[in-house]
Chain A
Amino acid sequence: MERLDSQPRVAEFAACVCGIQSRLFGYIHSLVRDLNDADDLFQQTALIMWRKFDEFDRDRSFFAWACGIGRLEVVNFLRSRGRRRLYFSDDLNLLLIEAQEEMTSEETEERRDALAKCVAKLRERDQELLMECYQNPAGVNQAAGRRGRSPQSVFNSLRRIRRALYVCISRTLTKESRPEWIA
């Protein structure tokens, strides 16, 4: 561990990570779907990336490299949880990484910015429901209990809200003249 004297490398690593971290986090989260797990796995992945940074081939995509490491972490994690086959195969993962990579950091940022605006356009009770459900993993059940509704019907409401948000975000991005197919 003689890395203390490698200050330029730290800066380089930090710059690389900065450029992709949001998308890497999104990729990991799309695989585990739990924010806490994604958070842990992201941290682990970042640490391993640092440890293996020497081996990273500068001609390759840093993002694809990072996702490759993240994917292994996720698979190990899901296997350790005994979630048999509740994850995607390796070759689909490669395709998904490719699709992730195609979505630029810029687009990711724009999507998040647009989300804030679109959430603000929701009816107040939809906003409340959304935040309540997403607050923790038991959010949907809690929200259902509090409203005397079945979890399924809350899931249905959530879907409606998410679809509306997705459409709203797509429109916002289209207005900002994204290529046609992104909408």
Chain B
Amino acid sequence: MSEQEQLPEHWKELIEDYLDGLLDASGIQELEENLRADEVARRYFVRYARLHTDIHLEARACEAGSRALEQLGRLSENQKALASTATLIPPPARTARFLAHPMLRWTAALNRLGIAAGLLIVIGASWWLAAGWVGPSRTEDEPAIAWLVNAQDCTWSGSGPTGNLQSGKVLSIERGLAEIHFQCGARVVLEGPSVLELISSKSARLTSGRLTARVPASASGFEILSPQGKVIDLGTEFGILADKGSTEVYVFEGKVEALPAQDSPAEANTVSLTEHQGAQMAAGRVTIRPVLRAAAEGQFVRAIAPTPVIVPRTMRLTFAEGVNGSIKDRAGFGTGLTHRLPGTGKLLPEADGNLRLNTDKAQLELTTSNSDLNTQYKLDHGEYLGTRLADLGFTGTEDFAVTVAIPNIPALEVVGQFGLYAGVKSNCNIRGGLIGGPAPGQYTQFIVNNNNGSDSDESEVGLLTKGTDLRLTLKRIGGKYSLAVENLTKGSTSTLTLRHPDFLDGVPDLYVGLFGANTQSEVRKTLIFKDFQATVWKTATSTVHSGDAAPKLSTAHHPFANRSIRLPL
């Protein structure tokens, strides 16, 4: 077990959703970004998808097998021959339930029958021709001279590379990194913005931008051309930067030759560069220049390092047992929740009569009190309790989320409200949840900023009725707050966002938790909370995978080196 276990849970959920066909276009987009950015995620994806396939095959092998044979039969006049082909296939060696899929059987038969089965393919092929199938364009068939093997945060100008890379292909990358393997064995890491034209299996033209090339001895002679000259590699690693009338070259290891672009191919113009030497090519000349090694090497990305992996740190309360040292319920049992939102609940007794930890049902029962964050009304008795994010490693900038399930919601009187909050104190926070409408038991979803004690920027949506089972999630991802209300009864989800509450930005610690209040009525109701979770996503040192990882990864300069992956819950 190892690196794949470190994949963020959310990524795994996305893959599950994808396989179950539950992702919409934006979900696909998000999954695509994750997969593109992370090789480990791709490894996991292909294996998890394989599991999905295998289960399908397991469940449906026999049925699919006969279907495929019928289908092939329909392609041909010669159905009788096919039928006999089918009967020739012996029962598979595995258990009957665990048949291989139709194609396996088909080709097994093909192997056995040699030409006879080959005939079937020919018939099939002509059938497809007759049906007017249009195959891949010619260019797809031209020999590839290079392959795109890795990409990170790439934005391509125009259409990105498709298929294999043929001679003449221009790779124009606006941002991000792309790694290209040439047929000769050279590997190039291209950093956006750059334009690279592939010339042959051992040469390319860098019109603008920068790249590093790592060339094994067997590919010695690999060339990178630039508008100002060319660099011939003699089995080494070098970086090259083409920008506004001049080209800079720097040698990491080994030796290169640099030639200025000039009509006279005189020997004297060739300059040899060795390890840690740099040169400038401009105006028909190559000049060796003194370089500060660290500065020179910092200019280039030599290998695509995995984007920092973000791991969740979660505090989860199932309310199935008392927890010492936490806020106590009426009977003195610790609820597991540790902090009240500062400025609230000051006059509540230590054993809070409004709380009941029901361990049999694994739930926290909260009887609302008459209070309101808006106008800071009677907050000394307000029930706003939860935890603090610093305990989960929060330092102010991390993404976080807090979530809780609220089954069978009761009918609160007018403007009664419950949900989740995040903030510094009672007059500086954001909260969201459900707010009662004029009729008891009818709710709309809301999220609101509270700065200096009054609500502002409120948004509301939807209509929910009492008795519904909900899961609420309040989160801040990439600095943006949102509230998701999953209606477990109806299986629907709606999400609300609001104007960004910048008054919470840069705050090194936040309190998050749940609340319930009968704001403008004296009628108190009891809410049930289950499965409370607070999560902070922390950057972790990612696993550097085995394989031919280049030594000494230099990503300090990489514009995305410190960028974290956004992880919506």
**Chain A residues at the B interface, C-beta cutoff of 8 Å:** 1, 3-4, 7, 10-11, 13-15, 17-18, 21-22, 25-27, 29-30, 33-36, 38-40, 42-44, 46-48, 50-52, 55, 57, 60, 68-69, 72, 84-92, 94-96, 98-100, 102-103, 108, 111-112, 115-116, 119, 130-131, 134-136, 140, 150-152, 155, 158-159, 162, 165-167, 169-171, 174, 179-183
Give Cα A15–Cα B114 distance, bound, in whole angstroms.
11
**18 A–B contacts from the bound complex (CB under 8 Å):** A18-B107, A22-B104, A30-B45, A30-B53, A36-B64, A39-B68, A42-B103, A47-B124, A48-B125, A50-B124, A60-B144, A91-B162, A92-B32, A136-B60, A158-B20, A166-B51, A181-B3, A181-B4
Distance of A154 Cα from B460 Cα, bound (Å): 31
Contact B103 A99 (CB under 8 A): no
Contacts of A36 in B (CB 8 A): 64, 67
A69 to B119, CA, bound (A): 21
- Interface 0/1 of B29-58, CB less than 8 Å to A: 100100110010011011111111111111
List 18 additional A-B contacts (Cβ < 8 Å) besides A3-B122, A39-B68, A96-B42: A1-B125, A33-B21, A42-B103, A43-B103, A50-B122, A60-B144, A72-B136, A90-B161, A91-B148, A95-B42, A99-B43, A111-B54, A112-B98, A116-B94, A162-B48, A170-B1, A171-B1, A181-B4
In angstroms, how far is the closest chain A Cβ from the Cβ of B539? 21
The answer to whether residues A35 and B136 also contact, given A92-B35, A92-B36, A152-B491 and a CB cut-off of 8 A, is no
- In the complex, whether B84 has a CB less than 8 A from a CB of chain A is no
A50 to B103, CA, bound (A): 14
Neighbouring A residues of B521 by C-beta, 8 Å: none
Question: How many interface residues does chain B have, given as a range?
Answer: 35 or more
Q: Say whether A89 contacts B60, CB under 8 Å.
A: no
B residues contacting A by CB (< 8 A) are 1-4, 16, 18-25, 28-29, 32, 35-36, 39, 42-43, 45-60, 64, 67-68, 71-72, 94-95, 98, 100-104, 107, 110-111, 114-115, 117-119, 121-122, 124-129, 133, 135-136, 140-141, 143-144, 147-151, 154, 156, 160-164, 488, 491, 545-546
> How far, in angstroms, from A86 to B19 measured CA to CA in the complex?
12
A43 to B32, CA, bound (A): 27
Closest 3 CB pairs of A and B: A10-B118, A30-B49, A134-B59
Contact of A115 among B32, B58, B115 (CB under 8 A): B58
Closest Cβ neighbor of A152 among chain B residues: B491
Q: Which residues of A lie under 8 Å from residue B16 when comparing CB positions?
A: 159, 162
Residue of A nearest to B115 (CB): A7
Q: Which of B47, B101, B136, B162 has the most CB of A within 10 A?
A: B47
Give the CA-CA distance A92 to B124 in the complex, in Å: 31
- In the complex, the answer to whether B19 meets A39 with C-beta atoms within 8 Å is no
- Asked whether, in the complex, the Cβ of A68 is within 8 Å of the Cβ of B47, the reply is no
Question: Closest CB-CB distance, B202 to chain A, in whole Å?
Answer: 16
Which A residues touch B71, using CB under 8 A? Answer: 40, 43
* With A96-B42, A103-B47: A43-B491 Cβ-Cβ less than 8 Å: no
Contacts of B107 in A (CB 8 A): 14, 17-18, 21
The answer to whether B43 and A102 have CB atoms under 8 Å apart is: yes
Cβ–Cβ contact B114 & A96, under 8 A = no
**Taking CB as reference atom, which chain B residue is nearest A2?**
B122
Q: CB < 8 Å: which of A43, A48, A100, A111 contacts B51?
A: A111
- Partner among B35, B57, B136 whose Cβ is within 8 Å of the Cβ of A96: B35
Determine if B121 and A47 form an interchain contact, defined as CB atoms under 8 angstroms apart: yes
A21, A51, A69, A140 — most chain B CB neighbours (10 Å)? A51
C-alpha gap A68/B103 in the complex (Å): 18
Asked if B111 and A18 sit within 8 Å, CB to CB, the answer is yes
Residue of chain B at shortest CB distance from A115: B54
Flag if B148 contacts A99 (CB, 8 Å): no
CB neighbours (8 Å) of B140 from chain A are 68, 72
Contact, CB under 8 Å: A50 / B29: no
Q: Which residues of B contact A171 (CB under 8 A)?
A: 1
- Write the nearest CB–CB distance from B101 to chain A, whole angstroms: 6
From residue A66, how far is it (CB to closest CB) to chain B in Å? 12
B-chain residues with CB within 8 Å of residue A30 when the two chains form the complex: 19, 45-46, 49-50, 52-53
Cα–Cα distance between A55 and B149 once the two chains are bound (Å): 23
Instruction: Determine if A21 and B121 form an interchain contact, defined as CB atoms under 8 angstroms apart.
Output: no
Q: Is B122 within 8 A of A1, CB to CB?
A: yes
Contact of B25 among A39, A86, A103 (CB under 8 A): A86
Judge whether A52 and B135 touch: CB under 8 Å: yes
Partner of B58, one of A21, A50, A57, A119: A119
Q: Which residues does chain A contribute within 8 Å of B143, judged by CB atoms?
A: 57
A43 to chain B, nearest CB (A): 7
Inter-subunit contact A43/B20 (CB<8 Å): no
Given contacts A10-B118, A47-B128, A98-B149, contact A131 B43 (CB under 8 A): no
Cβ-closest chain A residue relative to B67: A39
Which residue of the partner chain B has the closest CB to A87?
B28
A44, chain B: closest CB distance, angstroms: 7
Question: Are A111 and B55 neighbours in the complex by a CB distance under 8 Å?
Answer: no
A99 near B46: Cβ-Cβ < 8 Å = yes
Given known A-B contacts A21-B103, A42-B103, A166 and B48 have beta carbons under 8 A apart: yes
**Interfacial chain B residues near A15, Cβ < 8 Å:** 111
Bound together, the chains give a CA A57 to CA B150 distance in angstroms of 23
The answer to whether A90 and B162 have CB atoms under 8 Å apart is yes
Which residues of B are found within 8 Å of A17, using beta-carbon distances?
107, 110
Q: Report whether A35 and B60 are in contact in the complex, using a CB–CB cutoff of 8 Å.
A: yes
For A130, the chain B residues whose CB sits under 8 A away are 55, 59
B111–A14 contact, CB under 8 A? yes
How distant is the Cα of A166 from the Cα of B51 in the complex, in angstroms?
A: 7
**Is the Cβ of A162 less than 8 Å from the Cβ of B122?**
no
A170 to B54, CA, bound (A): 14
A134 touches B114 (CB 8 A): no
Determine the distance from Cα of A183 to Cα of B5 in the docked complex, in whole angstroms. 9
Known contacts A14-B110, A134-B59; decide if A26 and B53 are in contact (CB<8 Å): yes
Closest partner residue, chain B, to A131 (CB atom)? B59
Partner of B119, one of A4, A43, A89: A4
Q: What residues on A are CB-neighbors of B94 within 8 Å?
A: 116
When the two chains form their complex, are residues A33 and B3 in contact, meaning their CB atoms are under 8 A apart?
no
Residues on the B chain within 8 Å of A165, using CB: 51, 55
**Is there contact, CB below 8 Å, between B50 and A108?**
yes
Give the residues in chain A near B115, CB-CB below 8 Å. 4, 7, 10
With both beta carbons as reference points, the residue of chain B lying nearest to A51 in the complex is identified as B125
**Residues of chain A lying within 8 A (CB to CB) of residue B117:** 10, 14
Closest to B68 in A: A39
Distance of A117 from chain B, by nearest CB (Å)? 10
Residue of A nearest to B49 (CB): A30
Smallest distance from the beta carbon of B304 to chain A beta carbons, Å? 11
* Given known A33-B21, A88-B32, A116-B95, contact A25–B114 (CB-CB < 8 A): no
Contact (Cβ within 8 A) A181 B68: no
User: Which residues of chain A are near B101, meaning CB under 8 Å?
Assistant: 22, 25, 39
